[in-house]
């Protein structure tokens, strides 16, 4: 029995020895204690291989990530514009800083032919101006301003897709303004804040944080700052409604003095015949302009084309003209049809910023 147990032990321990010999490993005595160490030695090489493969995978993933980010940075601005249409959370839009305390954020590299900020020391009305087409200075020039943008995002995108440059005036109480206005700038369009002001009719609501003549100056300034804080990259403001407010010299002096101090232009939409906007802006030596033609008081395609012809006639007789329209389907369709034809007739479509006046200050003698 003792011989059988010894023989059985030898046969049991010799098999692993033969396997180790076949693998080219040293054959040790059949003591059971060293066996785990021999297994550890056999598993060390696969573990080292696994670690090496894992390290290579991490390096490869890192390289791919770097290439992906670099590729995103090289994407055309047109693709970036698509990403800009993703809605932002309402609290992000509501928390936009005011221009009083924070300078406008830098924008991504613009598309070819788009105006880029050439000098951060320039005032915003020049820094964010859209590009003027080559040769426009030798042609009748027409600036087309589209008001009331932002409430209908699809309509704003359609206006942004019109042949540039269009000057787009966004209502400051609209939602998702950072994305909407960035998309417009990436398309080469110019931006205004469509500043809500008090109308003559008390039954018409100009919107949230509108400027009203019966407000104290501190509240007018607070509301102005709020309206200017909703997005960045604009060259100035024009009035939304405002037939009562623009006729009030004291109220307009307060507002235009603040706008001039921020380096912004003012476009008088001329909703009132007795508007004080242009006169006070000239006295403050701030860049300003005034509307010549309304395009779509009558929301009819044929009537809008007639108004565009009228704007073209003003541009030919005076050298330049400013027309204001709205993001109605009929207006957008008429512009798509009219712009290519007008260019063939020698009319230059230009941004508003290229037509404003920036006169020397006027000294008003006291009486």
- 146-162 confidence digits (pLDDT tens): 999 999 999 999 999 99
pLDDT at 120: 77
Q: What is the mean pLDDT of residues 58-76?
A: 43
Contact (Cβ atoms closer than 8 angstroms) between residue 230 and residue 172: yes
CA atoms within 13 A on the CB side of 259: 34
Among candidates 337, 267, 329, 273, which has minimal Cα distance to 296?
329
Residue 106 has pLDDT above 90, yes or no: no
Give 342's Cβ-side CA count (13 Å radius).
27
pLDDT band at 10 (very low <50, low <70, confident <90, very high): very low
CB 182 within 8 A of CB 107: yes
What is 120-354's CATH number? 3.20.20.370
Strand 320-325 with 288-290, pairing: unpaired
Domain layout of the chain by residue ranges: 1-30, 120-354
Q: What is residue 58's predicted lDDT score, i.e. its pLDDT? A: 52
Place of tokens 């990403």: 83
Per-residue confidence band for 91, with pLDDT thresholds at 50, 70 and 90: very low
More confident residue, 238 or 118: 238
Q: How far apart are CA 13 and CA 316, in angstroms?
A: 108
Residue-wise DSSP of 288-350: EEE--EES-SS--HHHHHHHHHHHHHHHHHHSEEEEEE---HHHHHHHHHHHHHHHHTTPEE-
The residues near 352 (Cβ < 8 Å, ≥ 6 apart) are: 143, 145, 167, 190, 192, 235, 236, 265, 267, 289, 322
- Residue 44 confidence class, pLDDT cut points 50, 70, 90: low
Q: What pLDDT score was predicted for residue 247? A: 98
Q: What is the pLDDT of residue 112?
A: 37
Q: Helix, strand, coil proportions of the chain in percent (round to 5)? A: 45, 15, 40
CA-to-CA dists, residue 241 to 147, 157, 196, 198, 238, angstroms: 11, 23, 6, 7, 10
Evaluate whether 172 touches 193 at the Cβ level (below 8 Å): yes
User: Left, alpha or beta for 263 (phi > 0: left; psi -120 to 50: alpha)?
Assistant: left
Looking at the DSSP bridge assignments, the partners of residue 241 are 197
> Which residues make Cβ contacts (< 8 Å) with residue 140, sequence separation at least 6?
312, 315, 316, 319, 320, 321, 346, 347, 348
Q: 0.85 cut: is pTM over it?
A: no
Q: Are 223 and 210 in contact (CB under 8 A)?
A: yes
Give pLDDT, residue 60.
Answer: 53
Looking at per-residue pLDDT, the higher value among 289 and 24 belongs to 289
Cα–Cα distance for residue pair 298/318, rounded to 1 Å: 25
Mean pLDDT of the chain: 79
């Amino acid at each position: 029995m003792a011989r059988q147990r010894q023989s059985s032990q030898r046969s049991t321990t010799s098999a692993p020895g033969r396997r180790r010999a076949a693998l080219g490993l040293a054959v040790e005595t059949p003591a059971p204690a060293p066996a785990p160490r021999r297994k550890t030695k056999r598993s060390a090489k696969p573990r080292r291989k696994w670690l090496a493969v894992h390290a290579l995978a991490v390096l490869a993933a890192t390289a791919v990530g770097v290439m992906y980010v670099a590729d995103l940075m090289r994407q055309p601005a047109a693709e970036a514009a698509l990403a800009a249409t993703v809605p932002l959370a309402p609290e992000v839009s509501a928390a936009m800083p005011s221009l009083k305390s924070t300078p406008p954020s830098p924008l991504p590299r613009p598309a070819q032919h788009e105006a880029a900020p050439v000098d951060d020391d320039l005032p915003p009305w020049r820094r964010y101006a859209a590009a003027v087409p080559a040769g426009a200075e030798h042609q009748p020039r027409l600036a087309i301003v589209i008001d009331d943008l932002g409430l209908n995002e699809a309509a704003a995108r359609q206006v942004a897709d019109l042949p540039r440059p269009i000057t787009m005036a966004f209502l400051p109480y609209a939602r998702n303004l950072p994305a909407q206005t960035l998309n417009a700038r990436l398309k080469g369009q110019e931006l205004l804040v469509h500043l809500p002001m008090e109308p003559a009719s008390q039954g018409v609501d100009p919107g949230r944080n509108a400027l009203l003549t019966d407000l104290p100056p501190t509240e007018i300034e607070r509301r102005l700052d709020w309206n200017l804080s909703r997005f960045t990259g604009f060259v100035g403001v024009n009035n939304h409604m405002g037939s009562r407010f623009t006729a009030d010299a004291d109220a307009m002096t307060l507002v235009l003095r603040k706008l001039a101090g921020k380096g912004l232009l003012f476009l008088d939409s001329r909703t009132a015949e007795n508007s004080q906007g242009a006169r006070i802006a000239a006295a403050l030596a701030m860049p300003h302009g005034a509307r010549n033609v309304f395009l779509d008081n009558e929301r009819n395609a044929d009537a809008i084309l007639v108004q565009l012809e009228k704007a073209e006639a003003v541009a030919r007789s005076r050298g330049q003209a400013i027309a204001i329209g709205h993001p109605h389907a009929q207006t957008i369709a008429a512009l798509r049809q009219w712009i290519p034809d007008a260019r063939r007739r020698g009319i230059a479509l230009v941004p508003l910023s290229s037509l404003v006046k920036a006169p020397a200050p006027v000294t008003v003698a006291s009486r």
